[in-house]
Amino acid sequence: MYRTLVGIGLICALVIVTVFEVTFPIIKVNKQRALENAIYQVLANTKSFSAYHLVGNNNLQKVTDNDTSDIYACYDANHSLIGFAIAAQGMGYQDTIALLYGYSIRSESIQGLVVLQSRETPGLGSKIESRAFLDNFNNIEIGLDAIDNERQQPLELIKNNSKTHTRQIDAITGATISSRAVVVILNRSLSFWLPIVAKQQEPIT
């Protein structure tokens, strides 16, 4: 009996290891390409980027492993820094929403937003991935030193197309909770990262 179970275990392990060995490099390339596409979408003119993470003294340090990073420095064709692509996530209506947005340090503004992962209600909450909603997040000016404490909320959710300022985000009709989730996630991420970027001591190259 044990011999059979061990035998089956061995066959199974062999199958999994073989498939993993074959597919792992392809999966890695796929993930890298998906990340690249998202970054190029949120910060136009990006030609290359590198992953950073936060170290002890609230400074950003370059890392080689792209998978676990939350913030990516983006460079233009002349290798000079144009801004950051920042990943943020939080609870949506049904499940975690993962976002990536581009912050340009040249114009001190949010340049664009993409939804990396969402499982919002099809037809309603899923519209947070629609062009009409995401266009709210093009060119929102927020000064690097505008945020001095974590409670500040740079973006505001409004209803009924009454937008008068770029920092106001039009909620999707029928999906207020999903729209609010996106704004809350962004506010939290902005009030966390912007002061860190502003106080960055070592130059990012």
Partner 1 sequence: MSTKPGEIIVTGPKDTDEFIKGVWAQNPVFVQVLGMCPTLAVTNTASNALVMGLATAFVLLMSNVLVSSLRHAVPKQVRIASYVAIIATFVTAVDYIIQAVSLEVHKSLGAYVSLIVVNCLILGRAEAFASKNNLKRSIYDALGMGVGFTLALLCLGVVRELLGNGTFFNLSVLPGNFQPWVIMLLPGGAFFVLALWMLLINRLKQGGPRD
Binding residues (CB under 8 A) for partner 1: these are 1, 4-5, 7-9, 11-12, 15-16, 19-20, 22-24, 26-27, 30-31, 34, 117, 119, 121-124
Tell me how far, at minimum, the Cβ of 23 lies from partner 1, in Å.
4
Backbone φ and ψ of 198, nearest 5°: -65, -35
Q: Which residue has the tokens 């709210």?
A: 136
CB 49 within 8 A of CB 75: yes
- Coil, strand or helix at 185: helix
**Complex with partner 1: residue 26 or 132, whichever CB lies closer:** 26
30 or 107, CB closer to partner 1? 30
Minimum CB distance to partner 1, residue 182 (Å): 18
Contact 82, 107 (CB under 8 A): no
C-beta of 91 vs 196, nearer to partner 1:
91
Rank residues 9 and 143 by Cβ distance to partner 1 and give the closer one. Answer: 9
The pair of three-digit structure tokens given for residue 174, joined into one six-digit string: 């029928």
The nearest distance, CB 196 to partner 1, in angstroms, is 30
Cα–Cα distance measured from residue 179 to residue 127, given in angstroms and rounded to the nearest whole number = 9
- Closest distance between partner 1 and the C-beta of residue 118, in Å? 10
DSSP 8-state secondary structure symbol assigned to residue 172? P
